[in-house]
């Protein structure tokens, strides 16, 4: 990092030193596992400056003191400010095709009308609602199935948006017209500029605030886990630990879906690749070996 980035000398900027940056990124890494390299200096400043101004703080040293005095509440706001929530309905559509064409037919053949799915890192809800719509399309007798979609994220702000289930119309403009009309409702109060997710999809999804590094509150295994574009922010050790935990949390033969730029290469040998960034837990593997505690 150059000397120029060690401080913010101009009058319209809040003082942000290398010491401030190191303190905050180490705090975030310890709390969430998200690792920030030196190249994230500007991002930390730009994302957090607005927070400091809302709090009426003069500089980042004062913010560090505020964080120490209010660790529980402010750590949530800190993480909310720094996390990236790029998402869309039916992002990476081949994953939803896999559910429709592979997973649902396999459950039917097995005579098993139960399915438990976890959307880990669900952001503002587009991913779990896309899963719910896929199941509604694929299972005509869904009223006779036991379906549960658990959607979690570390960012409490985007979770609130998911619970609300209301989106700008341009978020669904790319979808097929039949799908838009069937699963979304125009909000008359906004002159059609916003839509809400249909009640059938909403009923399938449960939103929960959850930090992946904290103890997992799940007591029954999942058949499918979506964790897409999340592990790219973690160290290799944390990624390995997390994938081991996913293996421990999946039912036998369960599936793990990852993002387009992610893979399990040199991370885990407990899964077999069965599609584009789709992995199946190997049968007969003791997934608990090596999971251990959080790194």
Residues annotated as catalytic (active site), given as ranges? 47, 153
Between CA 289 and CA 112 the distance in angstroms is 28
Bridge partners (DSSP) of residue 15 are 59
Nearest-CA neighbor of 133 among 169, 168, 165, 85?
165
Q: How many Cβ atoms from other residues are within 10 Å of residue 287's Cβ?
A: 22
CA dihedral (223, 228, 233, 234) in degrees, to 10, reads 20
Token pair belonging to 13: 């900027």
CB atoms within 10 A of CB 263: 13
Residue keyed to tokens 């199946």: 280
Residue (of 270, 114, 90) closest to 184 by Cα position: 90
The distance in angstroms from the start CA to the end CA of the chain is 27
Which has the closest alpha carbon to 184: 126, 227, 139? Answer: 126
Q: At what angle do helices 71-82 and 41-55 cross, to 10 degrees?
A: 130
């Amino acid at each position: 990092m150059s000397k120029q980035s060690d401080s913010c000398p101009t009058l319209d900027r809040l003082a942000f030193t290398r010491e401030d940056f190191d303190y905050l990124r180490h705090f975030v890494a310890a709390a969430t596992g998200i690792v920030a390299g030196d190249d994230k200096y500007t991002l930390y400043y730009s994302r957090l400056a607005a927070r400091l101004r809302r709090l009426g703080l003069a500089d980042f040293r004062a913010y560090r003191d505020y964080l120490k005095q209010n660790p529980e509440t402010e750590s949530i706001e800190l993480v909310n400010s720094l996390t990236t929530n790029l998402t869309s309905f039916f992002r990476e559509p081949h994953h939803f095709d896999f559910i429709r064409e592979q997973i649902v037919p396999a459950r039917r053949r097995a005579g098993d009308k139960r399915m438990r799915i976890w959307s880990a890192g669900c952001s503002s809800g587009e991913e779990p609602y896309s899963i719910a719509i896929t199941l509604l399309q694929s299972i005509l007798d869904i009223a006779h199935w036991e379906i549960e979609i658990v959607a979690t994220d570390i960012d409490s702000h985007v979770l609130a948006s998911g619970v609300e289930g209301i989106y700008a119309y341009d978020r669904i403009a790319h979808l097929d017209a039949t799908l838009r009309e069937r699963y979304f409702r125009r909000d008359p109060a906004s002159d059609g500029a916003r839509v809400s997710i249909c009640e059938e999809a909403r009923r399938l999804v449960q939103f929960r605030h959850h930090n992946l590094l904290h103890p997992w509150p799940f007591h029954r295994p999942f058949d499918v886990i979506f964790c897409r574009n999340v592990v790219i922010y973690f160290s290799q050790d944390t990624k390995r630990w997390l994938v081991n935990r996913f293996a421990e949390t999946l039912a036998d033969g369960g599936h793990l879906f990852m993002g387009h730029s992610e893979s399990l290469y040199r991370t885990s040998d407990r899964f077999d690749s069965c599609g584009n960034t789709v992995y199946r837990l190997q049968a007969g593997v003791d997934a608990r070996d090596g999971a251990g505690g959080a790194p």
